[in-house]
Amino acid sequence: MSTRVSSRRRETAHELGRGPGRCRVGRHRFATILALGLFGSLVAGTAEATEGGASLYLPGFRGPAAGIVPPPGFYFSNDFMAYSGELSGARRIQIGGAVLADVEVEIRADFLTATWVTPLEVLGGRTAISVSLPAGVPRVSAGVLIEAPRLGRTFAFSQRDASFVLGDPIVTGLVGWDSGRLHWSVGASVNVPAGGYQEGELSNLAFNRWIGDVFVAATWLDPALGLDISGAIGFEINGENPDTDYDSGNAFHADLSISKNLTKEISVGLLAGYYDQVSDDSGRGNRIGPYKGRVVAAGASIGYDFTVAGTPITTRVRVLREVDVENRPQGTIGLFTVAFPLGGQTPPAARVAAKY
């Protein structure tokens, strides 16, 4: 790695955590933002329209430090999600080939993410790759089953399903740069349809379709004020589910986060997310029409950073309410994150890595 790059990283590390009189907001917070959109792989409840109302994108996931890529090394994050929502009245949704109404969803799921920030640079930017795997228990109930031709049923009441399942693995790659207080990154995620999908079941974490998501993220970090302003925009490209012949539409999404450190350990912030499906759902198996979805979500976060045996650990709680939705269940999202380095970090820039 060049002397010029190493010098620049030392200067950045000094600015984020070691400057005289500065709030050391960067010491224990890690850029596990590489594991983006994992929670969107929950059927019928965590994301916006498309088949089952599910998408790779989750509102509020790209929060503080969305644009920061840490120095080379290995990182781990564990994200627990709790979701509760409902699609009431006569509105319909299609899940696992079945058309349902009066749907209620409760999800408890865990998402494990391993990230490697490599020594390789592209156009002067740090490169990283991550792999994520979701697992958990979605509980889906429907007051009315309107149609399920693949299951040989046309009408029924009170359908319920809950089981422990594995979701599709998600691979993410990105490149990140920084210039003074401004940090930015570009990347892409791919959902690989290799999870435990079961046709006809209401309880699925796997999409059973290829999904691509390209994104750009930026962060303005002022260590003296302890202020982090982050944003991200992206575009999701959906494939067809071969088991249900349902072709989900593509969508635009955006996130905004403003957070403030109250102390070097505690931070609080506001979050907002927006998702808008720009093309219709289609396919031979689609029985509910275009079903273009949209959602606006808003909420807050609180973070606490500490050290165990010399290892900096970041924890964060985020809660968002879906305040405006179309063609999907409406509910509340709760996220609890624990993140820490596994080793291999570059010593001079270790404090940069601590911004999550």
- Confidence label for 31 from pLDDT (cuts 50, 70 and 90): very low
**Residues near 353 by Cβ (< 8 Å), separated by ≥ 6?**
30, 31, 70, 71, 73, 75, 341, 345
Contacts of 68 (CB under 8 A, 6+ apart): 31, 33, 176, 178, 183, 185, 219, 221, 352, 355
Q: Does 47 score more than 50 pLDDT?
A: no
Percentage of residues in the chain with pLDDT exceeding 70? 74
pLDDT attached to residue 41 = 29
- pLDDT top residue among 56 and 210: 210
The Cβ of residue 285 has, within 10 Å, a number of other Cβ atoms equal to: 18
Given a contact cutoff of 8 angstroms between Cβ atoms, the answer to whether 230 and 64 are in contact is yes
3-class DSSP state of 218: strand
Res 335 pLDDT > 50: yes
**Taking CA 36 as the corner, what is the angle to CA 66 and CA 33, rounded to the nearest 5 degrees?**
35
Query: How does the average pLDDT of the chain come out, rounded?
Result: 79
Query: At residue 125, what is the residue type?
Result: G
Strands 311-326 and 294-308: antiparallel
If you average pLDDT over each of 6-15, 41-50, 134-143, which comes out highest? 134-143
Sequence letter at residue 84: S
Token pair recorded at residue 300: 């807050």
Give the DSSP H/E element, type plus range, for residue 4.
Answer: helix 3-17
pLDDT at 256: 96
pLDDT value of residue 347:
47
Residue with tokens 């979605």: 138
Overall average pLDDT of the 311-325 stretch? 94
Q: What predicted TM-score, i.e. pTM, was given to this entire model?
A: 0.78
Instruction: Check residues 294 and 291 and name the one with the higher pLDDT.
Output: 294
| Integer Cα distance of 351 and 184 in angstroms | 17
Q: What are phi and psi of 225, to 5 degrees?
A: -90, -15
Q: Which of 64-68, 139-143, 312-316 has the weakest average pLDDT?
A: 139-143
Element at 98 (helix H, strand E) = strand 98-122
Residue predicted with more confidence, 40 or 97: 97
CA 172, CA 238: separation in Å to the nearest integer? 16
pLDDT at 17: 37
φ, ψ (nearest 5 deg) of residue 222: -115, 100
Residue type for position 80: F
**pLDDT tens-digit series, residues 201-220:** 777 888 889 999 999 999 99
Q: How confident is residue 285, by pLDDT bands cut at 50, 70 and 90? A: confident
Walk me through the domains of the chain, giving residue ranges and CATH numbers: 3-349 (2.40.128.130)
Quick: pLDDT tens for 171-205.
Answer: 999 999 999 999 999 999 999 999 888 877 777 88
CA 208 – CA 210 distance, rounded (Å): 7
Q: What is the pLDDT of residues 241-269, one digit of tens each?
A: 898 888 989 999 999 999 999 999 999 99
Which structure tokens are listed for 227? 């202020």
Q: Please state the rounded mean pLDDT for residues 271-281.
A: 93
Q: Closest Cα partner for 214 from 31, 30, 37, 32?
A: 37
User: Do residues 66 and 217 make contact, with C-beta atoms less than 8 angstroms apart?
Assistant: yes
Please state, in angstroms and rounded to a whole number, the distance separating the CA atoms of residues 356 and 63: 8
CA distances from 206 to 87, 287, 351 (A): 21, 21, 36
Amino acid residing at 137:
V
| Amino acid letter for position 254 | A
Please provide the distance, in angstroms rounded to a whole number, between the alpha carbons at the two ends of the chain: 25
Answer yes or no: are the C-beta atoms of 254 and 37 closer than 8 Å: no
Q: How far apart are CA 215 and CA 185, in angstroms?
A: 8
48 against 64, higher pLDDT = 64
Q: Specify the pLDDT at position 53.
A: 64
Res 42: pLDDT: 31
pLDDT band for position 13 (cuts 50, 70, 90): very low
What does the pLDDT read at residue 145?
Answer: 61
Q: Give the best-scoring range by mean pLDDT among 116-125, 278-287, 321-330.
A: 116-125
Residue 99 banded pLDDT, cuts 50, 70, 90: confident
